[in-house]
Structure 1
Amino acid sequence: MRFRLTPREDSYYDMFADSANNLVTGARLLVELISDGGNREGIAEKMRACEHAGDEFTHAIMRRLNESFITPFDREDIYRLASSLDDVMDFMEAAADLVVLYKIGELPRDVVGQVEVLERAAELTAEAMPRLRGMKDLSEYWIEINRLENQGDQVYRRLLAELFGGEYDALTVLKLKEVVDQLEAAADAFEKVANTVESIAVKES
């Protein structure tokens, strides 16, 4: 165990938790979006508000990083974690926005599977952030996120096979692929968050 002789700046933990909780809100809005075809514009607007809130959380962390002489763990890890959390929200918001902009009607059934992976990953990430303070009981988190990302990859490949299977016209394929690509990128970004947490935990152990 590494002993520290100086006080640490602890407000980072609360800001990471706020950012992760915002991802839970965004993921649940995605669930609502794909299940409610009647109010997609309104849901996409809420997603934009979530994305703006995520940007504010990220900017607050970066400002604190620039102002802090002492940090709870390595500066580059704080930057990576904040940026990765922000990336997740950006990808989720982009997917929601594209559904509305492209006026996509019925989405392929497996999109539900993609969004379920994101919702569960968001919940696990929000549960994990407060545990950064003690660096305890985190291994199950990154192992499960890795499993979810693999599950998401399988769903993504099934979707690609469906999109290029001849059921959809070429323009619809292009529109739907952009949406599922953004959802896949969000799953990848969740894994990057988990990998960063694992790196921090290893260094601090």
Structure 2
Amino acid sequence: MFSLQTIFGQGKQFYALFNEAADAAYDSTKALHAMLKERERQPSMEPFKHARQRERVASDKISQALVDSFITPFEREDIEALGSALYKIPKQVERFADRYALAQHRLTGIDFAPRAAMLEQAAGVVVDMVRELHTLRLEPMKSLNDRLRVIEMEADRLILELHRDIYSGNLDAGEMFLLKEFFEIMEKAIDRCREAGVVAYEIVLKNS
């Protein structure tokens, strides 16, 4: 019969990998916020590619650890769900950055930085939630989940304000299409953070 010490020992590798994945996702959002604050500079894609690579490595290691490990700290389906949710954050962020670098000259009148700041905050909360996983403490996780929900609601409000620019009548059809695409990508990136937070919260709910 396995002792609790053995079980927790088996789980350390997953917690470390989740931390690395969450950190990589957070770093990608910080890079995006910095890019959008410094619009006069030529955007560099290197920070986003690096974050995606780190995320990919962590994701691959999580998948391999599931194959190699007989004992896991919580259900395998939950491990897969959290790994997948974290993986999608920098993927969506890089998608925004890549398109922004190409279309920056057509977006001079739009300030995405406040929305990117909300995305960075959301990813930061996800980092805190992932770091809390090993404790399985419900109250701290609930507080973080509530905070993430508030950030999501505020981000939705800011993105709604941006939609007013689309329907202002001052844009041509091409500009409207372009802005709508960027709004949707930003919104999806924030949703990805929310999804990761929900998975982490549900893991604690089931195991605390």
- Structure 1 and Structure 2 fold alike (TM over 0.5): yes
The 1-side partners of 2:178 and 2:67 are apart by 41
**Match for 2:162 among 159, 163, 178?**
159
Letter in 1 for 2:193: F
2:89 corresponding residue in structure 1: 88
Unaligned runs of at least 5 residues, structure 1: none
Cross-structure match for 1:113: 114
- Residue number in structure 1 paired with 2:126: 125
Instruction: Establish whether residue 177 from structure 1 lines up as the match of residue 208 from structure 2.
Output: no
Aligned to 2:14: 12
CA contact (8 A) 2:96 2:186 kept: yes
Q: Deviations over 1:55-90 (max 9, x none)?
A: 111111111112111100011110110110111111
Q: 2:145 aligns with which of 142, 145, 156?
A: 142
Secondary structure at the residue paired with 1:7? helix
Aligned to 1:97: 98
Q: 1:74-117: per-residue Cα shift (whole Å, max 9, x none)? A: 111101101101111111110011101224442523x2221111
Q: What is the 5 A alignment of 1:29-40? A: 29-40=31-42
- Counterpart CA distance in 2 for 1:47 and 1:5 is 38
Contact 2:136 2:204 in 1 (8 A): yes
2:198 to 167, 185, 195: 195
Contact 1:95/1:180 (8 A) holds in 2: no
How far is 1:167 from its partner? Answer: 2.1
1-structure distance, mates of 2:108, 2:59: 34
Could you tell me whether the CA contact under 8 Å between 1:19 and 1:58 is conserved in 2? Answer: yes
Shifted more, 61-70 versus 159-168: the winner is 159-168
Paired residues, what number? 201
What are the within-5 Å matches in structure 2 for residues 17-28 of structure 1? 17-28=19-30
Secondary structure of 1:167's aligned partner: coil
- CA spacing shift, 1:107–1:68, aligned 2, 3 Å: farther
TM-score normalised according to structure 1 size: 0.91
Taking the aligned partners of 1:30 and 1:170, their CA distance within structure 2 comes to 26
Measured after TM superposition, the shift of residue 152 of structure 1 is: 1.3
After TM superposition, the structure 1 = structure 2 runs for residues 42-57 of structure 1, keeping only pairs within 5 Å, are: 42=44, 44-57=45-58
- Give the TM-score taking structure 2 as reference length: 0.89
In the superposition, relative to structure 1, how do residues 98 and 117 fare at CA in structure 2: closer, same or farther (>3 Å)? same
**Cα gap change, 1:40 to 1:76, in 2 (>3 Å):** farther
Task: Give the % identical residues.
Answer: 22
Query: Separation in 1 of the partners of 2:100 and 2:205?
Result: 40
Distance 2:52 2:6 in 1: 36
Cα offset for 1:202? 0.9
Measured against aligned partners, the alpha-carbon deviations of 1:136-169 in whole angstroms (never above 9, x if no partner) come to 2211111111111111111122111211212222
Gaps of 5+ in 2: none
SS at match of 1:162: helix
